Amino acid sequence: MKVGVLALQGDFREHVLSTSECGHEPVEVRTVDQLNSVDALILPGGESTTIIKLAESFGLLLPIREKIKSGFPVYGSCAGMILLADRIFDGIDGQQTFGGIDITVRRNAFGRQVDSFESDIEFNGKSLHTVFIRAPWVEEVGPGVEVLSSAAHHPVAVRQGSLLATSFHPELTGDRSVHSYFFDEICKAR
Amino acid sequence: MSEATGTARVKRGMAEMLKGGVIMDVVNVEQAKIAEDAGACAVMALERVPADIRAQGGVARMSDPDMIAKIQAAVSIPVMAKVRIGHFVEAQIIESLGVDYIDESEVLTPADYTNHIDKWDFKVPFVCGATNLGEALRRINEGAAMIRSKGEAGTGDVSNAMTHMRTIGGEIRRLTSMREDELYVAAKELQAPYALVKEVAETGKLPVVLFTAGGIATPADAALMMQMGADGVFIGSGIFKSGNPAHRAAACVKATTFFNDAKVLADVSRGLGDAMVGINVADIPVPHRLAERGW
């Protein structure tokens, strides 16, 4: 499977590596042509404001929204979760998202960088050691959204249809269970 | 749920999120908002940009906490701040403000001409400047979670940034070609810990994110550094000392992402107005060169 990783800003190289370690072919996506060549898309960690501005400037915002509406599989970590959320608290004025998951996220919900942490959480019923960096959490969940993990009494991993979002960074640790879940449970099931 | 804050993974991971981005020097709320709107991935809050520090002279110190707090309140992107080399109390103060990254910076006047800050003592991550691989590894050994090549700040002259990126890259490539039994002497020559030297020899890269800084003034400069292997770019005086900061800031952000696409680079370089006037590094007497600070 060809897996696109949106490569505008952030830790896209780690998602590229995670993808190839799971046995799939990663493609860095910066153009519509590259987007149209892949079977699934990953939105990396980074600065959500920077990524959405670049996506808008280079004509990727609407094509990605269209893909999402058509049921295309997309996974977003951290900034990627913000980009997949239908609604944001504490964004900058008029901050846009690709949307698609019926959730409200709070940016930097756990605090500033000094509050960033690593921790053991449950993901899809299994223990996972992972990293939260200036991470968002989910403030409100719509009816069609499945919660896969929680931390500090808030959802931190959610799925709606073929869309998956985590507020943590599985790409920064060696554990590939979240990527495998995306490829095996979501992409292949389509 | 057991949580660990301030770990090396958390500190270095923060820098991973900044990759492919531009970190811009800002001196007030208005500039910070311009930077955020232009797509900066973080801002560096300081009272004077390096070009002004250079022009005005005198001792340069950490910024007023009040000024930093105002910028933190105004933007949602990470906020960094500078402290003097070796001034661990300035670092304690800045950490208490909840700043996201501290730059132990040669742009300010050093407080200690022998020791840098013991950065393992802090929860907040540090970025430090380096002109070569040995210097970078010494900073990492002291706890730096991110490195930036120094360049020559406040000049708008990219030549020193180029020299430092070539030096760091060249020294890394040299290590990767060595026999394992030669790495002990390599560590001695680099004046860096053997364990870090061995790690670089095995992986072919620094164990932390490497940005570039010092003299970047145009989108082409930013792309040049990215093609040289930088993970991202700091732009200090280059944006707000130019004719049209908002336009230039957005252009540099785009150039940092599309650093390999000459057509995009040409497009974003059009009609930017005046770049900062700049100074040739060669015209600056050696004692006034900032990159010489730190060891």
Give a yes or no: residue B29 inside a domain. Answer: yes
Contact between B78 and A107 using a beta-carbon 8 Å cutoff: no
The reply to whether B204 touches chain A by the CB within 8 Å rule is no
pLDDT of residue B36: 97
pLDDT of residue B277: 82
The reply to whether A67 touches chain B by the CB within 8 Å rule is no
pLDDT of residue A30: 97
pLDDT of residue A103: 97
Contact between A92 and B76 using a beta-carbon 8 Å cutoff: yes
- For the question of an ipTM over 0.90, the answer is yes
Total domains, chain B: 1
Of A78, A154, A179, A187, the catalytic one is A78
The reply to whether B260 touches chain A by the CB within 8 Å rule is no
Of B82, B119, B150, B254, the catalytic one is B82
For residues B125-145, average pLDDT? 98
Indicate whether B23 pLDDT > 70: yes
Give a yes or no: residue B205 inside a domain. Answer: yes
Give a yes or no: residue B20 inside a domain. Answer: yes
Cβ-based contacts of B124 with chain A (< 8 Å): 113-114
Give a yes or no: residue B290 inside a domain. Answer: no
pLDDT of residue A90: 74
pLDDT of residue B288: 86
Between CA B269 and CA B248 the distance in angstroms is 8
Give a yes or no: residue B98 inside a domain. Answer: yes
pLDDT of residue A114: 95
Label residue B278 by pLDDT band (50, 70, 90).
Answer: confident
For residues B260-272, average pLDDT? 97
What are the extents of the domains in chain A? 2-187
The tens digit of pLDDT for each residue in B94-105 reads 999 999 999 999
Q: Is the dihedral of CA B166, B255, B231, B275 positive or negative?
A: positive
**Which residues of chain A, if any, have pLDDT below 70?**
91
Name the closest residue on chain B to residue A50, using Cα atoms.
B39
Largest CA distance in chain A: 41
**Mean pLDDT, chain B, as a whole number?**
95
The tens digit of pLDDT for each residue in B42-86 reads 999 998 899 899 889 889 999 999 999 999 999 999 999 999 999
Structural element, H or E, at residue B4: strand B3-5
CATH architecture group of domain A2-187: 3-Layer(aba) Sandwich (3.40)
pLDDT of residue B224: 98
Asked about A78 being catalytic, the answer comes back as: yes
Q: Distance between alpha carbon B102 and the CA centroid of its chain, in Å? A: 10
The reply to whether B180 touches chain A by the CB within 8 Å rule is no
Contacts of B127-131 with C-beta under 8 Å, sequence gap 24+, read B127/B15, B127/B80, B127/B101, B127/B102, B127/B103, B127/B211, B128/B103, B128/B104, B128/B294, B129/B104, B129/B105, B129/B213, B129/B214, B129/B291, B129/B294, B130/B164, B130/B168, B130/B294, B131/B163, B131/B164, B131/B167, B131/B291, B131/B294
The domain in which residue B42 lies consists of: 7-271
Between CA B11 and CA B200 the distance in angstroms is 19
pLDDT of residue A43: 98
3-state secondary structure of A127: strand
pLDDT of residue A122: 95
CATH of the domain at B205: 3.20.20.70
pLDDT of residue A145: 98
Give a yes or no: residue B11 inside a domain. Answer: yes
Contacts of A16-22 with C-beta under 8 Å, sequence gap 24+, read A17/A171, A18/A170, A18/A171, A18/A176, A18/A179, A19/A179, A21/A176, A21/A179, A22/A176, A22/A179, A22/A180, A22/A183
Indicate whether B257 pLDDT > 90: yes
Give a yes or no: residue B112 inside a domain. Answer: yes
Between CA B157 and CA A149 the distance in angstroms is 49
List strands edge to edge, sheet with A117-123: A126-132, A117-123, B3-5
